Amino acid sequence: MTPKICLGAFLIAATCPVLAQSSGETIYSAQCEMCHGEGGAGDTPVGKALQAKSLTDREVVKKSNSALAAQIKNGSGKMPAFKDKLSDAQIDDVIAYIRKLQKK
C-alpha cells in the first residue's frame, strides 16, 4: 500500500469509534447513567444520595425537549451543567434516548 492509501484507511478507521460514541445511548451511559441509572429511575447509589429525579417521572415526561435541553446544558440542583461537555446535537441524541427510556 502506498502511504496515502494507508493514511486514508487509518483516518476512516479512526473516525468509526467517534461515530459510534455519538449515539444518545452511548452518551447517556457515559454521562448520565451513574446518577439516573440504566433505566432512568435514578435508583443508583449516587442517584439516591443526590436525589436524582427519575426520568420516567410524570413531571419529566411532560417537559418539552427544549426544556430538557436547557436543563442538561445549564444543570439543575445537584446536576452539573453539560454545556461545555456536550454539543447541541449530542444533547438532542441524549434526549431522544431518554424519550425511549420513558416509553419502556
* CATH code (residue 36): 1.10.760.10
* Average pLDDT rounded to a whole number, residues 30-50: 95
> What is the extent of the structural domain holding 38?
23-103
Provide the mean pLDDT of the chain: 85
- Is the per-residue pLDDT at 17 higher than 90? no
**How far is it, in rounded angstroms, from Cα 94 to Cα 22?**
9
Residue 87 located in a structural domain: yes
Question: Is 71 part of any domain?
Answer: yes
Torsion sign across C-alpha atoms 69, 70, 74, 79: negative
48 part of a folded domain: yes
98 within domain boundaries? yes
> Using one digit for the tens of pLDDT, what is the confidence trace for 71-90?
999 999 999 999 999 999 99
pLDDT band for position 104 (50/70/90)? confident
Number of domains composing the chain? 1
In a domain, 38, yes or no: yes
- Global pTM reads 0.76
